[in-house]
Structure 1
Amino acid sequence: MRNIKGIIIPLLFIFISSCKTTQKAPKSEDREPLFTIDSLAVYPDEFMYAYEKSNKNKGEIEPIDDYLDLYINFKLKVIEAKAEGIDTTKAYKSELNGYLEEIKKPYLTAEKVNKALVKETYERLQHEVNASHILIRVDKDAKAEDTLKAYQKIEEVKNKFDAGESFEALAREYSEDPSAKSNNGLLGWFTAFQMVYPFESAAYQTEVGEISPITRTQFGYHIIKVNDKRETLGRIKIAHIMKRFPPQASSEDSLQTEKELKKIYEQLNSGENWFILATKESEDLSTKDNGGSLPWFGAGRLPASLETVAFELEEKGDISKPVESPYGWHILKLEDKRGVGSLESMEESLSRRVQRDQRSELKEVEVIKKLKEENNFKINTEAYALLKSKENLNPGNFKRKELGTTLFSISETDFSLLDFLNEYDSANNIDLELEKYEKSKLIQYEENNLELKYPEYKFLRQEYKDGLLLFEIMNQKVWSKISEDTTALKKYYEEHKNRYKTDGELKVARIVFSDTSSIKPFKKPINDAYFPLTDQLEYVDSKTTLKQIKIDDNGDHKVFISLVLPQNISERDTIKLFEDLNQTFSNMDVVKLIYSDENKIYLQLLSEANELLAKNNDRIESASTETIESLENSKWSGLNEGEFTKNVDKRGMIEFNYILESYPPKQKTLSEAKAELMEDYQKQLELDWLEELEKKYSVTINEAVLNTLKSEI
């Protein structure tokens, strides 16, 4: 039921729109109510919040009087729900708390910072960076003198680069990354999450060809040179067949390995099965049994030579020529490719990864910093010094006056030294405990004051409280009765049967002509159903007839025939005629047969209004047979079988509509009418209930306040 409520509750009177903290806060200066229901007063700011939100969701401005009626009805139902005690039940409170926890998240500073990090990460995933670096190692918990020594060394390297020395040469000489000796500090291509966060940020914030400021990570100090940037290649899944280099391989060994793989490549090109060859020939023992299939990977996860070739493969199943890596020779096969998804599709998974990543630690620092700025956080340095001067932080070791000293304040709220000591864990370091206490009080203060800080949040909370009450009371008073009281529903159907009829329908032949000159023969179709494909022709034999008749017929549509036969035609000739026609037309039916005194056979081909008719008449643009609802006051209203209409469409074409059949409205059964019947019955139950509520409660509208609101719209 929770998920259903999550959809229905906001729809019961207005949609819950996205929470934006930049939204203009509703004013609540004028405390004269707009209306009262007994002792409940509803003020203009609450009403206008709901009214403006409703207009925004509908995309139009609703008359304020109409919306006021709806809003009063809404509040009447909510008051009745409270009178029934729904708001006191355990189920209601539990359900409400779940919703309130969700709706406050967008207003919390931590959530805003998290969303910003998710957005930043997504934007970075759109691009890849190729970078080199120089590392001077220093442990993150190193002594101050060791940290300073490392910083001075990286600063010296940076100064040498600024003076014009080669970055690559400096990397080989000074970098403490062991691989720098052989790769000049080159890291290759990477994207978000593939480097530690401070390193990633420095790389993305540095322009191509430039070097970053000195950057500290858990490994030490770096300077980063950005070689290139490109749009992300996405992720790719490949299989490979590999021939390894022998230990201490020579160039001759490499040529021999390449030669072996080229034979396999030729076998693949001649049609041999990839899976069989991979399991038989590949020397990658970890993948050969599954056809050489490798896990999904992105940029920077394979040797550069393999990565380049892999991403050049375009279609699933494409196979590369043999390609060399530091480990051997490979043939690659593309199994699948994936681009970066939309932010909406990735938001949840990115949020989880951000929480697990180093970003989350930095996020917490940013959150606390923002909260301190927003809430006028002030510390009493003397109180902090006093705490740190005591060896034993038992409250008994402090004077009464000292215990009452303000430790820090958040806005106008003071937190005393005693408040801290009551929560202090003596097993931990005093500085860590103070930091933890500051965090907890800042976050608690923010949550407790969201309604003051964001007036729209106050109304949103009220919206959910009332919405959940409305759901429960509507379920009791209206919805459950519809589903459970089938006898009352049947009675309502019998009393209002005339409302539940099908619309009249017309079967219409619609033919669009390029001009009016061709319409006349179509105004009187044969048997009120069939239109001329050809003129009437004298039938001699099938061969002669085929020469005379040139119709585009592939058998998809039936050809109908009108025949005029001599009175004295023999049975044998009649049989022969019909055999000829059946051989000539794969899908035919004789629909009109006339006998005459003339000793000749005449034949005319006919068609229903369809593609066949249009294809065989140059002046017909299109032809179709459609069933159309004959709604009251529509252009089809009052038309009968055998009648037709003509009109010119926007292209200047003549639209001819011939009424083939007319179907009058029919009485719907209870089952057929059920959907609209239940909707009407619900409305009636709700109207009857509202009448009772209007008698039970006294509603008073403040016309002066209402007129003021009208003048401001």
Structure 2
Amino acid sequence: MKINRLLIFGFLLVQSFLFAQTKEVLFTIDNHPYYTDEFIRVYNKNLDLVKDDSQKDLDKYLDLFLGYKLKVEKANKIGLQNGTSYQNELKSYRNQLSKNYVNDSKVTNELVREAYDRMQQEVRASHILILVDEGASPQDTLKAYNKILDIKKRLDAGEDFVTVAKQTSEDPSVKENNGDLGYFSAFRMVYPFENAAFKTNVGQVSKPFRTRFGYHIVKVVDKRANRGEVTVAHIMIVKPNVSDAAQQEKAKATIEDIYKKIQQGENFESLAQQFSEDKSSAPKGGVLQRFGSGQLSSEEFENVAFSLAKKDDISAPFQSQFGWHIIKLIEKHPVRSFDDMKGELEDKIRKDERSLLITNSLAKKLRTKYTVAKDAKALAQVKKSITDEFYSQTWQVPANTKEGNVTVLTIDKTKKITSPTFLNFVYSQQKANIKTKPIAKLTDELFEKFTDEQLISYYNENLENEFPEFRYVMDEYRDGLLLFDLMEKEIWNRAKSDTTGLMNFHKANIQNYQWKKRHDVDILSSTDKATIEKAQSFLKKGKSIDYIKEKLNKDGKVNIMVKSGLYEEDYDVLSQYPNVTTGVTSVVSKDKYYFAVKVKSTKDAGPKEFADCKGKVISDYQQYLENNWVDELKREFQIKVNTDVFAKVKQQLAK
């Protein structure tokens, strides 16, 4: 989803709305009217969110709002609203949003309890997948279904699950994991998959079932008590991206040196900040976001993390597919009580496939809300075309029937559903393997199910009329998607591909892309002042770094660590030296460490080459293009602001 992308235009989606505003035309863009009620609603909605006080000024806010609508007009003018990707994205979001409006409290409570009970366990399962899209043709769906049935027959005949998975599964990861998905609990997998895993006994294989990805068979390998979640910090040395044995050994030696320093009593967080190569966690002392089983891509990392028993326990160095790690336990988080988790689980269910169960239960209530009229005579004719071939899953929708395209169902006197729609629904139900007989009785059952589905569909179609706030959110999301696609086309992609423009912008704004003075240095650190003074003495005598480490790191202890590179003058400990010159510096202290630096050479401050700051130039160029873009749009479109109406808006908002 692109929900987070809407932040680009500053009109954030929040669930607070104002109704009953006086509706007048505030301005037009090429004779397309925009009304005061929308402007007032959006202004009030965002009043407490904007940090820039200038955006609270109504004149300036009108200019922002006008610029926003100009961009939407431009997007519509060039036809972005007709794009398949845009329409699919909008449809997907509407489906997601509608889940908040179709619910049944009884079913919701049952699903919350089921989810909580399942969260007491973790299941380890392997699976075989045959891919088929949700919207696949009946022929492709049947082909996939037959494939999974053949695989199930092989497993029932005693063939090894892993062997069959490697030969038949269409999950790309099977090459690496043999179909093994590791441990997981509730909400880690799509709901039908979760159901199959939790309802299948250890060592058993499930019946074939379908998810939005295709058809699956699951084998449950193990079940255990939920380990909860854990918060840890880690120090990481990245696995070299080459198969050079020397580089591999250097990474291992580095992590072992760090571990020795920890054992000597040095601070874990400080070492993480200095030496960890996980750039996202190093500044925070190595602390990672809390996680549970199956949430990380490294099972080795998870297992070591959960093996630590007490707060501040520290693991020995170990290797994952990403590199070498040392882990420190910050806190363990066991599964919370039902009361503590109820609200969180309800929220997860609203975003999960479980919500479909809730919407289906709504159909019963909708039968009393809307008038439902079945045309018995037309339906009787349609039923004659549904035969016993349904049970063998070979029945086809007749190409031509005597009754043709007739109305079989009418909802709320307005929505008319015709016979082909019902017949296609019947065709889609063959895979459910329904056994009801005779066929006339089965058809009656299917028609009731079809009626429920159509009721929910009608209700969904009318959510904009039922709930004004739903309409407002959809309108804003629709505009936001258009704006994102337009920005991508007109600004972001242009800025990335316009090499000449980028180079010229870099040249014209070279004052913004300057190196500070830089030093090529070896930075030596130790927690012991006497040790760093010895290291300083060696540096002054011209001894190599290897010599110094050999002399000072003895008896299995790491007393000296070294970091080398070309750094700007305010980098880390270099900022402690006001006048750095070539040679060996004095000893300084910072954060319980002592430092000595060998300055091998110095580069004066000066302009950065384009390659050294390309990312920053692209970002700045994008902003430059956007700032000038609205002025171009104002010249392209005819704009008329109703100043008298805007004056009334000001008076209304001032009250």
**Range into which the TM-score falls when normalised by the shorter chain:** 0.3 to 0.5
Q: Report the TM-score, using the length of structure 2 for normalisation.
A: 0.43
In the superposition, the TM-score normalised over structure 1's length comes to 0.40
